[in-house]
Amino acid sequence: MKDLKFIEALLPQPTPVQRLDAFASYLGANVELTIKRDDLTVLPFGGNKTRKLAYLLHDALSQGAEIVMTTGAVQSNHCRQTAAAARMLGFKPILVLGGERPNTPSGNYFVDLLLDAEIHWTTMEARLETLNRLYEELKSAGKKPYFITYGGSNALGAAAYAFAMKELIETQNFHPDVIVFASSSGGTQAGLVAGARLFGYKGRIIGISVDEPEEKLKEKVANLATQVTELLEAPREITPEEVDVIDTYAKPGYGVMTEKEKNAILTCARVQGCILDPVYTGRAMAALMDMLKSGYFDDGTKVLFWHTGGSPAIFAERYSSEILR
C-alpha cells in the first residue's frame, strides 16, 4: 500500500485518547466512554482539518504553490485552519466565505482576520463558483494558487483519516467497538471507513450528519472512501450500505443551534471540562448523549467520541450569548 507524504510539523504526535468516566456516569450509561482529541492538533484551536492539511499542503509545496485558497461558511473551522497552516508554511491564504459579513468579527472569522487571510464574500450557493473564478484569475495573472475544496474533502485530504485510523488502532493500540463523530463534507468519515478496511478495524463507524440527508451522505462517503483506497494503491469498492449515518439531528439545518446542542455543550463543559462547538461536535455529542441515555449500546460497549474540533465557534456572537442564556 502506498504511504503518502505529509508535513510532519502539522502532525507531530498522536492526539490523546481520554476516558470520559464522569460523563458516562452522569448520563447513567454503563459503557466505556472515551474521546479522541483532534481538537488538540497544533494549529490554533485545533481540529480535524489539520490532518488533511498536512497532506494537502505537502502536495501544494511539491507543486511550487504560492497561494492556498479554499471556501466555507462564515464560521468555517476548515477555513481558519487552512489560513493558519498557510501562514505557518509561508503561503498566502485566500478564503471565500459564504453568508453575511458579521458586523463584529468573532469566533473563527476573528481568527481569519488575525491571520490576515484575504477574504472574499459571496452567497452560500456561489462559494465554489467564486473560488473557481478566483483560482482561474490568479493562474491567468501568472500566480501559483493551490485549490482546496470544502473541508479538504478530496481523496488526498480524506486519506489523512485512513492514517488516523491506523494511528488509533496500531500506534495507540486502542480498539473501540464504536466510533461516533460529526460528519458533513464526508472526508473524515470516508477516511475512517477506508482506514477500517485497510487496517483491519472491525467496529462500527457512526457519522452524525450535521446537514446532509442520510442517503446523500452515505453515497458521498462511499464514493470518496473508494477513491481513498485507490489513491493508496489498495483498491476496495466501498458501497453506501457499508456506511453508517444518522441524520436525525441534521433536520434543523446547518449551524442552527437547538436546545440539544446547547445542552450537550453545557453538559460536556461542566461535567468533563471539555469544550464542544454548536455546529459539529455539539450536534454529534447531542446524538451520542441521546443514544447513551436510551440504552442504544449494550453494557460494557467501548464507545469512542472522535472530537473533530471547532471550539472557536462558541465565541461567535450569534452563539455565545445564546449558550449561556
Cα 39 from Cα 309, distance rounded (Å): 4
The answer to whether 95 touches 71, Cβ cutoff 8 Å, is: yes
The torsion of the CA quartet 267, 75, 117, 308, rounded to 10 degrees, works out to 50
Asked whether the beta carbons of 27 and 271 are under 8 A apart, the reply is no
Cα separation, 147 vs 154, whole angstroms: 11
Distance of CA 109 to the CA centre of its chain: 17
In 13-155, DSSP assigns E strands to: 17-19, 32-37, 67-73, 92-98, 118-122, 145-147
Q: How far apart are CA 266 and CA 324, in angstroms?
A: 8
Distance (Å, rounded) from C-alpha 150 to C-alpha 224?
A: 13
Catalytic-role residue among 25, 62, 76, 153: 76
226 CB-near residues (< 8 Å, 6+ apart): 194, 235, 236, 237, 238
Cβ burial, residue 230 (10 Å; 0-12/13-18/19+): middle
Residue 294 annotated as catalytic: no
- What are the catalytic residues? 76
